[in-house]
Amino acid sequence: MKCNSSLTFVRFFFMIIRMKVLGIETSCDDTGVAIYDSEQGLIGNKLYSQVAMHAEYGGVVPELASRDHLRKTLPLIKQLLAETQLTANNLNGIAYTHGPGLVGALLVGACIGRSLAWAWGLPAVGVHHLEGHLLAVMLEQQKPAFPFIALLVSGGHTLLVHVEAFGSYTVLGETLDDAVGEAFDKTAKLLGLAYPGGALLEKIAQQGDPHRFHFPRPMLNRPGLAFSFSGLKTFAVNTFAEAGNDEQTRADIARAFQDAVVETLVIKCRRAIQQTGVNTLVVAGGVGANNELRRGMQSMVTKQRGNVYFPRPAFCTDNGAMIAYAGCLHLLAGKRQGLAVEVKPRIAL
């Protein structure tokens, strides 16, 4: 995703204008809305999680997710405007996630966002979900300068990105199969933990013996920055079948699995830093809230004489704040969405 040089003058012109942007995120199972002010920063943020509804099924049910977004998005926007004491007259634009994600869920947010923009006479812009995650760290007081390397790890995505500037992203490596968050959740399910299981797996791993089991570190024996996590799930299944189902064994498997994932991610990030010469690292996405991963990244980056930045846990998962922020930058740069509602369930960064 490269910046269009023809927008340089337009971008400079719009950067001197203050904007308040409503952001809407409905790509999967979290309904998020937020308002970002180009001068004051984030002034309102609300999130509704569908976890309790999907837990019964052990994973996200797309049709149920779409219906729940339909029920929750407008009431959340009304609550947000009431709490911030703003009206449509105070807004300058609307941003919504247009992909990637579940098509039905994306359509809800896009239709509501585009319809409100038309009714209120405001410009609208679609935002790439992954770009939102990459820029979520910019909502913090301590934020990196461009360029930086970003590790984006979530339930649906695992990739390393060279972020040269806003709008200029080069993917250095990505998963060949399962996303790391998906591997966490499926391994947690194997261990009898509730959905979503990533945080619960991290919790029981604290009681695990780090020496009892050793899981493979996938794709470290070959050059490059690609990832693969499906084999770790299979290894966990086989270990579980052979070792038994007592509480300590489950904790030991959780510890071995987490150690393998963390070490793999840390080594790949170190390779990316050495390959690019950029020693500023950002860790984004839901798995970025894992404390062991944060400690591992901090230790590695310190040895590389660099700096690492993490969004707060609430901004690691899907949220409207990151969409409002990214959308504000696009609107300030002069980008505008047409009247047609378009979503892209699969779209490259």
CA atoms within 13 A on the CB side of 38: 19
Distance CA 84, CA 81 (A): 5
**How far is 40 from 314, CA to CA, in rounded Å?**
20
Q: What pLDDT does 245 receive?
A: 86
Q: What is the pLDDT, as a whole number, of residue 15?
A: 45
List pLDDT tens digits, range 191-237. Answer: 999 988 899 999 999 999 999 999 999 999 888 999 999 999 999 99
CB atoms under 10 Å from CB of 241, counted, come to: 10
CB contact set of 13 (below 8 Å; sequence gap of 6+): 334
Helical residues (DSSP H) of the chain, grouped into ranges? 8-14, 51-55, 62-84, 103-120, 129-135, 180-190, 198-205, 230-243, 247-276, 291-303, 313-316, 320-332
The pLDDT value recorded for residue 3 is 43
Domains of the chain listed by start with CATH number: 5-136+317-332 (3.30.420.40), 144-310 (3.30.420.40)
What confidence score (pLDDT) does residue 11 get? 42
pLDDT on residue 244: 80
Peptide bond into 62 cis (omega under 30): no
So what's the pLDDT on residue 4?
44
Residue-level pLDDT at 195: 87
Q: What is the pTM of this model?
A: 0.92
Instruction: Please identify every stretch of the chain with a pLDDT value under 50, giving residue numbers as ranges.
Output: 1-16
CA neighbor of 74 nearest in space, from 46, 112, 102, 101: 112
Report d(CA 43, CA 266) in Å as an integer.
34
